[in-house]
Structure 1
Amino acid sequence: IRVAGEADLTNDYLVDGAGNISMPYIRSVPVSGKTAPQIEDAIEAKLRQNFLRDPIVSVQVTTLRPFYILGEVGASGAFPYQPGISVQNAIAIAGGYGPRADQDKVLITRKNANGTATFKVPVTTQVYPGDIIYVRERWF
């Protein structure tokens, strides 16, 4: 995050487990699920309230959390997130479906404002950083 003319605010910041970043003077800023321009606006608004008259903020995401694939795939594990990737593409990256995969029973566990939620999804569903994809085993 770069704040024009403010060297003490310009720094690399990590997103915590709750989806927030902490900055001097403005404390916690929720960033989970937001785009870089939305984060810029949120930081500018907080700086404008208490600290700077007309802040100019630039946000660049340097590293995104990986997504994870478990279950009946060729190679379970963590994989680098790629913007716009679907569940189907993620499964392909993990070596495709395993021989006992139930292709109609793919689950995603995803963090949200209330904690985490697990739900059955179609393979066209978009994957987000930190998602855990689980391909279930069929029993016949």
Structure 2
Amino acid sequence: MRRFLLLACLVLSAALQGCADRRIPAEFQAYADAPYSLGPGDRLRVIVFGQDSLSNSYAVDSSGKIAMPLIGFVPATGRSPSELAREIAARLRAGYIRDPQVSVEVEAYRPFFILGEVTTAGQYPFVNGMSVETAVAIAGGYTARARKDDAQVTRTRGDRTVTVDVPVTTPVRPGDTIYIPERFF
């Protein structure tokens, strides 16, 4: 009888372990709290005040650069829009425009990806304020075999990629890959 009670306690503690409050790792949280950094797939609106020929929409290409008239390719990946604006202004100031005033806005964010137990897995346009649960809704909802209480989110920043199990209320960032796992029973 004692062995049975011991085994029952072990099984119960293992089952309750799954209910424990999961903490999101600090490194992943730091990515979520950091200012937005540009990457391939972003579409930018660059405005050079007083220079209509330079003001335009530019896409960040697969090498992480935008191509602008006069100054050529400007690295954008890993920079914030304000950092990119300062770089463009510095390049224009070096021989083209006396005192350039530059503004950079994100017109369209790079897409996010969703895989696993959703109706229509794939690539979707990013929407501001989106959570994992909203991303699932955009992908057509859960399948019958989906685990609905958590997901895995893979986020890349610079040369670091982090994959974390998160609750479905976790905010999604542009470029994230979300995986909805299958439930066991």
Indicate conservation of the 8 Å contact 1:21/1:29, yes or no: yes
Residue type of the alignment partner of 2:122: G
- Take 2:154 and 2:90, find their aligned partners in 1: how far apart are those partners? 32
State the match for 1:29 in structure 2. Answer: 75
Matched with 1:72 is: 117
TM-aligned CA distance change 1:124 to 1:50, over 3 Å: farther
Give aligned-pair identity as a percent.
45
Task: Provide the TM-score with structure 2 as the length reference.
Answer: 0.60
Deviating more after overlay: 42-51 vs 97-106: 42-51
**TM-score computed with the length of structure 1 as normaliser:** 0.75
Across the aligned residues of Structure 1 and Structure 2, the Cα RMSD in angstroms comes to: 2.7
Any conservation in 1 of the 2:150–2:168 contact (CA below 8 Å)?
A: no
Distance in 2 (CA, whole Å) between partners of 1:87 and 1:45 is 39
The aligned residue for residue 85 of structure 1 is 130
Structure 2 alignment gaps of length 5 or more: 1-45
- Which of 130, 137, 158 is the equivalent residue of 1:113? 158
Larger radius of gyration: 2
Aligned length: 139
Of Structure 1 and Structure 2, which has the larger fraction of its residues in helix?
2
Structure 1: any 5+ residue segments left out of the alignment?
A: none
Q: Which amino acid in the other structure matches residue 69 of structure 1?
A: I
Task: Tell me what 1:5 maps to.
Answer: 50
Q: Secondary structure of the residue that 1:92 maps to in structure 2? A: helix
Deviations 1:66-119 (Å, cap 9, x if unpaired)?
212111122222222111111111112223222211234411222210153322
